[in-house]
Structure 1
Amino acid sequence: MLVPKHRENDWIFTTEAGHLQLLLSTPEISRLILIGNLPNGDINVGTLYKRSLEKCPSYREMLERSLYPLLMALLPKEIAQLGNCQVPFLSYEDNVISSVVLERCTGICVGEMLVEDVEIEGSRRELRRRLRFKRMPNLIQTEICIVPIGVDDTRLDSLCIEGVEFNPDLRKLVHPYLAPMVAGLSLIGGYLQECLKSMVRPRGLCIGVGGGALLSFLSLQLGFEVVGIEADEVVLRIAKQYFGLQVSNSIQLCVGDGIEILKKVALIDSGNESNSLVADNVGKDFFKNNFELFGSKFLFIMVDLDSSDSRMGISAPALEFVQKDVLLAAKSSLSEHGTLILNVIPPNRSFYDMLIHELQEVFEDLHEIDCGNEENFVLIASKTTVSIDLGVADNSFLRNLKSVISGRYVDCIRKI
């Protein structure tokens, strides 16, 4: 695989986790050799990348011919002895045109991370802000739209991404699975409509905050109250500083292990606080300090937890969440009409089938949304039987929902 010019320092190409993910993303390949310029340093604040415009077919052909003897020498002997071996040359391609690093820091749980502004391919200039972790560099943890400060549309085409200040645009979701997760709320659209009619703000829990794009959207666009649990305090600092996440009456944050907190909430609710399943680091003192966050049940729980083990490739949710006691805890923490909404990146079909089976063992109803990117699915597990009612004529919540996210995600919900 040819490493793009000027991206030699990217964690995708300089870390074992990045190499492993490249290999796992091409399952038909068992041996991958990266070819590129030597890294000339590390990624630091201000590091700028601009995609090379050089595309010379004759140079590519000459490079492949010159490298062929070396690559043949690296083949397994049993393959090389067959003769006439074809060595495929791949080019790494993504949608990044240019990028600049805003901050590099280290969190106690997630390790090193990067915040970067990027320009991506599109019919018009698309500017985004991203959060990536070194432990899983090929996975974008958070992505939001950004708007240049003091630059009108007539000057946008000539804008250079470096040296410009941007404001986060929190009115839309650009991560491929976040809008489908929000679309899952349409299954309880009737009840949500009744809540809004009664002037009761629906209340939800988000496990896994990242940059906070989902929490901000639920609060600003739908008027919900949201509690977010994030394991790493540095990630929350990044979310507030770079991604526009603001603590308010409608958004409250908690630092801790979301899975263990969920189990403790369920056990306290059942009056069984001494259960040995509860982690020692989530005790009574935690709930004395956070009672207002967890003292009442949630109408929805949204889970965005990827596996921290790069050997599994990119997968979600974390295996720790797919345990019966955790799913029962989630169910117990939901109100009568509550729903659990999961971002799922299945590493294989057996994982997905296992997850579906575990959810069906605990919840009454299960629905699916295919996010359409050949990677993400959203599973919606409900405490009670729900029906897919797409009529919006007399439901202001559904009308608003379809106005702020693509209605196609609502329309493609499928019962499992």
Structure 2
Amino acid sequence: MSLDPSTFATLVPSRYITFTLPYHQDHHLQISVLDSLSADAASSSTAAMWVPHGRECDWIFSTFSGHLQLLLSCPTTHPLSRLILIGNLPSYSHPTSYNSTLYPSSSTPLRQNLAPLLSALAPKLDGEIHEVPVLIYEDEVVKSSILEICEGPCVGQLLIENVELEYDGVKEFRRRLRFKRTPNFVQTQMRIYPKNGYKLENLDDMEFELDKGVLVQPYLSPMVAGISAISQFLEGRIRPKALCLGVGGGALLGFLNAHLNFEVVGVEEDEVVIEVAKKYFGLENDELVHLFAEDGIEYVQNFAKNVSEESMFDVIMVDLDSSDVALGVCAPPVQFVRKSVLMAVREVLCEEGVVVINTIPSSKLFYERLICEIKDVFEELYEIDVGNGENFVLIATQLKVGNVSDANDGVFLNKLKQVVSRSYIESIRKISKTADVQASYFMRG
């Protein structure tokens, strides 16, 4: 089927077109054109992106959800209205292992030869043709090795991979969990190290051990630092209790149990995710780590109906993200931001307890609403800016705890400072009014 060039002259919100283009003898290119959900011709901005060679089958570059997140996160002066992706025709139907050294980068002549195509695929504004900037996708992934691709009844397809990263010439290995519905977002990652050192070049042939002593997911250490808000109440507690809504690979649960002596209850909606956490990320289900395959929000609401003082939690960690692809990556889900849900969370929390929430705001309005709803239910609210341009950690307490950074050192707080950066504890700031929320949100970039 041939495409009418006039098809691309106008913007159509959420329109997604993928087609194959012959290029030089037997070589074909895969072209994808995505218009933003709120494409506005008056403020149109278009960019093209080259798909890295060897990663054409990666869900980031081969699915609508991956393209949408690329469009939303492209480093351009103005929000993009259209993103054009160009890459080699995929040779497989699913993600495969990757080695950057086997794939040279796209050549400049190829980009120049495709300039007329990019002009034809750009929307026409007032009859003018604008040059389309070409972006290069870059991340720290040097190699990847797919361990398994499976499917869960709730989260859909998921992928477990070992990756070799390189930061300023320094290599590091990690094990990652990604979902197809949000492929650009790493659900869980743990540091791993080769059993045989660096003798093997092929990542597929290397054996690894998990390093459970460090949290490499950017927001997890700030979440743990949030417990410092109630450190004075945890002094002398032999075995405090934590509820984790959202398990993923279980890095947070295992860390709380192993390094801070918590008894932990983890709730994850998909049984397959729990099995993956056990098989690939070393999560154990024993007398101190209890795992439940349930919807986290429903679990809290049901638990609140029959809660007793003995069964309450000292800490509740909320690490839930939205399953709505149209929102991109957003946390917590809008279903959590309801007074009835927050009241249920409060019911299962002990009087001196704390709720720590990982947030990835989809907009300033969403973040303000979340803040207002939490402040209506809890006594005090604090915040940590993770500093990665995406995450904020919100910390809500049942009681007034004063200035968190002025807390006197005790056994628990000293232990906490040994396992997470003091900078996160010292950066905790109180949110007392809407102006504080706005200031925080706009300071991100």
Work out whether 1:61 is the aligned partner of 2:100: no
Query: Greater relative contact order (Cα 8 A, min sep 6): structure 1 or 2?
Result: 1
Work out whether 1:357 is the aligned partner of 2:348: no
Work out whether 1:131 is the aligned partner of 2:146: no
Within 5 A, what are the aligned runs for 1:63-142?
63-78=110-125, 81-83=127-129, 85-122=130-167, 123-142=169-188
Q: Following the alignment from structure 1 to structure 2, what is the Cα–Cα distance between the partners of residues 86 and 357?
A: 44
Shift of residue 355, structure 1, vs aligned partner: 0.5
The worse-fitting range, judged by mean Cα deviation, of 10-19 and 371-380 is 10-19
> Aligned to 1:210, what secondary structure does the other structure show?
coil
Q: 2:84 aligns with which of 8, 12, 33?
A: 33
**Deviation sequence 1:25-80 (CA, Å, 0-9, x none):** 23621111111101101236xx3201147767xx643222211111111222335x
**Which aligned runs of 4 or more in structure 1 are off by greater than 3 angstroms?**
52-56, 157-160, 388-394
Work out whether 1:342 is the aligned partner of 2:346: no
Structure 2 segments unaligned to the other structure (5+ residues): 1-48, 432-445
Q: 1:319 to 1:393 in 2, by over 3 A?
A: closer
Q: Following the alignment from structure 1 to structure 2, what is the Cα–Cα distance between the partners of residues 315 and 65?
A: 37
Within 5 A, what are the aligned runs for 1:302-313?
302-313=317-328
Shift of residue 159, structure 1, vs aligned partner: 4.7
Match of 1:181 in 2: 223
Shift of residue 124, structure 1, vs aligned partner: 2.5
Work out whether 1:49 is the aligned partner of 2:98: yes
Q: Following the alignment from structure 1 to structure 2, what is the Cα–Cα distance between the partners of residues 317 and 389?
A: 24
The one-letter code sitting in structure 2 at the alignment partner of 1:41 is Y
> Aligned to 2:137, what secondary structure does the other structure show?
coil
Q: Contact 1:132–1:139 (CA<8 Å) still a contact in 2?
A: yes
Structure 1 segments unaligned to the other structure (5+ residues): 271-293
> Aligned to 1:387, what secondary structure does the other structure show?
coil
> Aligned to 2:331, what secondary structure does the other structure show?
coil
The one-letter code sitting in structure 2 at the alignment partner of 1:117 is N
The worse-fitting range, judged by mean Cα deviation, of 208-217 and 186-195 is 186-195
Match of 2:414 in 1: 399
Q: 1:214 aligns with which of 245, 249, 252?
A: 252
Match of 1:237 in 2: 275
The one-letter code sitting in structure 1 at the alignment partner of 2:120 is A
The worse-fitting range, judged by mean Cα deviation, of 396-405 and 176-185 is 396-405
Aligned pairs, number: 379
Alpha-carbon RMSD across the aligned residues, in angstroms, is: 1.9
Q: Following the alignment from structure 2 to structure 1, what is the Cα–Cα distance between the partners of residues 158 and 328?
A: 18
Q: 1:208 to 1:300 in 2, by over 3 A?
A: same
Work out whether 1:23 is the aligned partner of 2:61: no
Within 5 A, what are the aligned runs for 1:149-298?
149=195, 151=196, 155-156=197-198, 159-195=201-237, 200-269=238-307, 296-298=311-313
The structure where strand makes up a greater share of residues is 2
Structure 2 length-normalised TM: 0.82
Q: Contact 2:404–2:428 (CA<8 Å) still a contact in 1?
A: no
The worse-fitting range, judged by mean Cα deviation, of 8-17 and 392-401 is 392-401
Shift of residue 402, structure 1, vs aligned partner: 1.2
Structure 1 length-normalised TM: 0.87
Q: Following the alignment from structure 1 to structure 2, what is the Cα–Cα distance between the partners of residues 212 and 407?
A: 23
Q: Contact 1:125–1:156 (CA<8 Å) still a contact in 2?
A: no
Q: 1:14 aligns with which of 50, 59, 62?
A: 62
